[in-house]
Amino acid sequence: MTENLIKSKNKLAAFWRLINPFKPVGGLSINDSSLKYVRIDENNRLIKASLRLPPGLIEGGRVKNRALTKQALETLKSYVVSPKGDRQANVIVSLQDNLVYSRIFTVPSLEEKALQEAALLNLQMISPIDLKQAYYSYQPVGIVANGGRQLELLGAFIPSSTADEWLSLLKEAGFSPIAIEFQSLSLTRAMDYLKIVDPKSTYVVLNVAVDGLNFAIIKNNNLYFDYFYPWKSVGPGGRQIAFADLEQVLFTEIERVLNFASSRFNTSIEKIFVFSEDLAAKISASIKSRFPQINTQEFSLTATAGLPADWSAVLGAAIRGAMPRSKDQFISLNAISVKEEYFQEQSLNLVDAWRSAFLVTLAFLAVLYSGSDLFLRRIKDNLIASQAISLPASENQEYSALRAQVDSFNSLVRLVADAKRQETVISPFLKKIKELAGTDATILRIATQPIDGSITLNASSPSLDLSKRFVDRLKATPQLQKVEQPLANLVVDPDGSVTFIVTFKVASENF
């Protein structure tokens, strides 16, 4: 029986893929020196390609030579998409960290719509640039310890001109960007997916890249802090600097990051991961000698994913691409959200998939209509013929008597139905709520939330104590669960009376 159930599920999944074809989404990482692409296929294999860029095409994450950059993107696309296949390659784009400003902020734990409004208000307050000239987004990262149900959110901002330039260039080159994020965020997701980090510990990730040093703090398996230090800040030597000068910068900046983590997050760093294409071992040894109390480790993806360490960001973007879009709650620095972008893409796919099926369906309906019309015509002819048959007088009298009884019975049924409709019925649930309220509270409004099935109750009480007594009775009722009274919605009037909101779910309807 289990085998039959598995076969049925497989057939259903195959049918769903047929009518709603899923187009894969890969990860695309863009740096000054290279383009990298990774896609996770249906067999959990990695489809990957990369292209090294000559100097001058991209500087500091910004396009300097549009024509050659577009040509490079088209070349990379040809490595991963067949010319006979789809003309567009869906991607999660991961840009350099120096293009994005990110910051942690906190909001009260609210319902989804109120939480979104509170988050957007905070983003407006912390934005380093005019929001009219920026794309911005946020994602939840944790809960404040002893914070009175406060949520921690990571907000991110990018100049809209920078994002739009990349979006237009990618679309011209044959890519369809589903979302834009930054590389520290992608890297953190890869480390979480590969179980490299522990949610109970706090880490520092040091990425020694071609454009500078990037420091990231990872806590609760989420990115909490991102700090970029460009090579031009080291001195007039630019990228050509002595290792002793690099050591001095590293020690200074690591000390600053450690102090920031201790003061801002009230935590100590468990480990420092070092990303570097050539100097990981030497830099790790140097950091160990300066900070012996902290475990320092070279980062490697060889054992877990079979990739070099500098592919971690594009792997993280590919992991996001393999997720269903309905579960994608991550930051997206696009003009529209991930769900809106993907909805448009899937809508076009569905139109294309159903176009060929439409004519077949139309032909089937035409045949069905013709057959039904012929069948109903025959039934009509038979009924007309049967009505033409004359009955004897005795049978006519018996028929008339039975017809009178039927009419009388139908009249009684209609009277009962009318009486039933006019009856006012108060549900056991409302009776129970009214009973629990008593004289302590007045019910103003009851509403249900169609998404999660929760119930929101607006009420007023002559005093705060009476409102608490009513809420306590709700919590003690076994048929109700998750009874909560948001303090943010509690209003105390000058005369001592209060209006408040209580949310709960109905566990059982046996009131």
Q: Clarify whether residues 176 and 216 are in a common domain.
A: no
Domain termination residue (choose one: 298, 321, 342):
298
Distant-in-sequence, close-in-space partners of 405: CB < 8 Å, separation ≥ 6: none
Q: Clarify whether residues 106 and 248 are in a common domain.
A: no
CB atoms within 10 A of CB 262: 13
State which residues form the domain around 266.
198-298
Of all residues in the chain, what percent are helix, strand and coil, respectively (each to 5)? 45, 25, 25
Q: Clarify whether residues 147 and 158 are in a common domain.
A: yes
* Residue 81 included in any domain: yes
- Give Rg (Cα) of the chain: 33
CB atoms within 10 A of CB 319: 19
In angstroms, the CA 28 to CA 35 distance is 7
* Inter-residue contact 31 to 13 (CB < 8 Å): no
pLDDT for the residue numbered 9: 47
In angstroms, the CA 141 to CA 164 distance is 27
pLDDT for the residue numbered 389: 57
* Inter-residue contact 340 to 143 (CB < 8 Å): no
What CATH number is given to the structural domain containing 494?
Answer: 3.30.1360.100
Query: pTM of the prediction?
Result: 0.64
* Residue 88 included in any domain: yes
In angstroms, the CA 140 to CA 153 distance is 4
Q: Clarify whether residues 155 and 205 are in a common domain.
A: no
Q: Clarify whether residues 216 and 98 are in a common domain.
A: no
Q: Tally the domains of the chain.
A: 3
Q: What is the phi/psi pair of residue 111, to 5°?
A: -65, 165
pLDDT for the residue numbered 335: 76
* Residue 145 included in any domain: yes
Q: Clarify whether residues 190 and 101 are in a common domain.
A: yes
pLDDT for the residue numbered 392: 61
In angstroms, the CA 103 to CA 126 distance is 8
pLDDT for the residue numbered 352: 56
**pLDDT digit string (tens) for the chain, length 511 residues:** 445 544 454 554 444 444 455 578 999 999 999 999 999 988 889 999 999 999 989 998 999 999 999 999 999 999 988 665 556 899 999 999 999 999 999 998 888 888 889 999 999 999 998 989 999 999 999 888 665 678 999 999 999 999 999 999 999 999 999 999 999 999 999 999 999 999 889 999 999 887 788 999 999 999 999 988 887 777 655 556 788 888 899 999 999 999 998 888 888 898 999 988 778 889 999 999 999 999 999 888 877 778 888 899 999 999 999 998 778 889 999 877 545 555 555 555 555 555 656 677 777 788 777 788 788 888 877 777 666 555 566 666 777 778 888 888 888 888 877 766 654 445 788 888 888 888 888 888 888 877 777 888 889 999 888 888 888 888 888 888 888 888 878 888 888 888 989 898 888 777 7
* Inter-residue contact 15 to 80 (CB < 8 Å): no
* Residue 255 included in any domain: yes
What angle do the packed helices 464-476 and 428-437 form, to 10 degrees?
140
pLDDT for the residue numbered 324: 86
CA atoms within 13 A on the CB side of 160: 10
Q: What is the number of residues in the chain? A: 511
Domain termination residue (choose one: 251, 270, 298):
298
SS3 state of residue 494: coil
The type of residue at 299 is F
* Residue 25 included in any domain: yes
Q: Clarify whether residues 202 and 161 are in a common domain.
A: no
* Residue 214 included in any domain: yes
